[in-house]
Every structure is written in structure tokens, then in C-alpha cells.
Amino acid sequence: MSERAEGIDERIKQIQEQEQKVRARMSKVKHKVAVISGKGGVGK
């Protein structure tokens, strides 16, 4: 496997580990609120 492919595999592993940690933490949170903005910046 090339160095690049190994680097990508390592990054995927890191992302999966981070996702697991986030899911574990969020499972303990009873109420969740998602905040999404449709427009960026300041209006005129």
C-alpha cells in the first residue's frame, strides 16, 4: 500500500474513533437542539 493510502486509512480510523466518542457523549444528553443558519453574514 502506498504512503498516501496508509495516511488516508489512518485518517479514516481517527475520524471513526472521534465519531464513537461523540456518539457516546451525546447518548448521555437528554435534550438536543440543532441550530442551522440559512444565510451567512450580516444583512443590509
Burial letters for 3-37: b for 16+ Cβ neighbours within 10 Å, e otherwise? eeeeeeeeeeeeeeeeeeeeeeeeeeeeeeeeeee
Domain parsing of the chain, residue ranges: 1-43
In this predicted model, what pLDDT tens digit does every residue of 1-44 receive, in sequence order?
677 778 899 999 999 999 999 999 999 999 999 888 777 677 66
Q: What is the pLDDT of residue 1?
A: 66
The verdict on pTM exceeding 0.85 is no
How would you write the chain as a 3-class SS string?
A: CCHHHHHHHHHHHHHHHHHHHHHHHHCCCCCCCCCCCCCCCCCC
Q: What is the pLDDT of residue 12?
A: 95
